[in-house]
Amino acid sequence: MRSCSAECELLTPGSLEAVLCLLHDEPGLWTPIAGGTEIMVLYGAGKLTERKFVSIAVPELREITEDGGWISVGGGCSFTQIRRHVGIQKHFPMLAQCASWLGGIANQNRGTIGGNLANASPAADSPPALFAYGAELELISARGKRRIPYEEFHLGYKKTALALDELIGTVLLPKRFDDSLRYVRKVGTRNAQAISKICMAATATVKHGHVEEIRIGMGSVAPTPLRLAATERALMGTELTDAAILNVVIWEARRALASETAPIDDIRSTAAYRTLVAGNLLEEMLRTFAGAAR
């Protein structure tokens, strides 16, 4: 049974300033809505608990700009904008790939990157690439702006660093990964329009066969999207080009991965399956990087 639309109220202030003033004056009372892809699922299922909504589909949040060593993606940018943007395709191809995995074309046209992050699903498609690319977030309110590393944004299941009067204004991406090795993979029931069972993205710098820098993001293995800090530490400085050593590196990396993930059983998969596949993806990534390093 659907929720009752007559019980809901939607305001469309029309400008970012008006939206932020409303959120500041009545913090926690109004739920921001951009593409509405998640909210409409709850509405259709009769599980929508919020009743007062404010549209944040304003031009100020829908711009993608390049400034020196950064690309700035407005929180209201759709995934169609992201996957089609030439600069993102060139400098951040894994993010463009993840954008193409998100639902169908209609979802990509409506869904926004800010909504994808604020919804805070552990299975969201974009977070692993943002971890791998060292993204930062600019959070905005009527009180001003503050900038945080993306890895500090998720505080717990469906809990984020956003204050009640804040929005995700911009996702900032540093253009320093053009020469990095890259790996991205999504495992789902189908090739399209499927919520991920496991998703993973990684960048690495390998010099003279050794790992100098590595960043790994993974989804659906913890209560939040996860940057695999322990696994990264286990891999720093390791040798990838010697086959015998690589096998030991993979074993140590899989053990580190198991220590920092806690997948669950749900309707899409089992914890045992996710644990096994996460380790397999990590191994595939390392063998891919090793091949490229040779």
Confidence of residue 5 (pLDDT cuts 50, 70, 90): confident
For residue 144, the domain's CATH number is: 3.30.465.10
Residues 6+ apart with CB under 8 A from 239: 209, 210, 245, 246, 249
DSSP 75: T
Percentage above 90 pLDDT, the chain: 83
* Ramachandran quadrant class, 110 (left: phi over 0; alpha: psi -120 to 50; beta: rest): alpha
Average pLDDT, the chain: 94
Q: Is residue 136 part of a domain?
A: yes
What tokens were used for 239? 């040798």
Confidence of residue 46 (pLDDT cuts 50, 70, 90): confident
Structural domain count of the chain: 3
Q: Is residue 179 part of a domain?
A: no
What pLDDT score was predicted for residue 47? 85
Mean pLDDT of 160-184: 98
Q: How far apart are CA 72 and CA 174, in angstroms?
A: 9
Q: Is residue 69 part of a domain?
A: yes
What pLDDT score was predicted for residue 192? 65
What pLDDT score was predicted for residue 268? 86
88-139 tens-digit pLDDT = 999 999 999 999 998 889 999 999 999 999 999 999 999 999 999 999 999 9
**Pick from 147, 174, 201: which residue ends a domain?**
174
Exposed, middle or buried: residue 67 (CB in 10 Å: 0-12, 13-18, 19+)? Answer: exposed
18-44 tens-digit pLDDT = 999 999 999 999 999 999 888 888 888
Spatial contact of 278 and 218, defined as CB atoms under 8 Å apart: yes
109 and 207 fall within a common domain:
no
Q: 141: which strand partners?
A: 144
Closest by CA position to 140, among listed 111, 116, 118, 112: 118
- Residue 20 Cα to chain centre, angstroms: 24
185-234 tens-digit pLDDT = 999 887 667 788 999 999 999 999 999 999 999 999 999 999 999 999 99
Spatial contact of 40 and 3, defined as CB atoms under 8 Å apart: no
Domain extent for 48: 5-55
121 and 97 fall within a common domain:
yes
273 and 169 fall within a common domain:
no
**Pick from 55, 70, 91: which residue ends a domain?**
55
Answer yes or no: is pLDDT of 7 > 90: no
217 and 261 fall within a common domain:
yes
Lowest mean pLDDT among 8-12, 16-20, 138-142: 8-12
Mean pLDDT of 4-13: 88
Q: Is residue 210 part of a domain?
A: yes
Lowest mean pLDDT among 1-5, 83-87, 177-181, 196-200: 1-5
Q: How many CB atoms lie within 10 A of CB 202?
A: 30
What pLDDT score was predicted for residue 209? 95
Answer yes or no: is pLDDT of 2 > 80: no
Q: How far apart are CA 137 and CA 198, in angstroms?
A: 24
268 and 222 fall within a common domain:
yes
Q: Is residue 181 part of a domain?
A: no
What tokens were used for 20? 């932020």
Angle between helices 243-260 and 271-293 (to 10 degrees): 150
- Residue 146 Cα to chain centre, angstroms: 19
Spatial contact of 46 and 1, defined as CB atoms under 8 Å apart: yes
Confidence of residue 48 (pLDDT cuts 50, 70, 90): confident
Answer yes or no: is pLDDT of 259 > 70: yes
50 and 77 fall within a common domain:
no
197 and 235 fall within a common domain:
yes
Answer yes or no: is pLDDT of 6 > 90: no
3-state secondary structure of 223: coil
CA distances 128 to 59, 74, 234, Å, are 27, 18, 19
Mean pLDDT of 142-171: 97
Confidence of residue 146 (pLDDT cuts 50, 70, 90): very high
Mean pLDDT of 158-175: 97
Count of helices and strands (H, E) across the chain: 11, 14
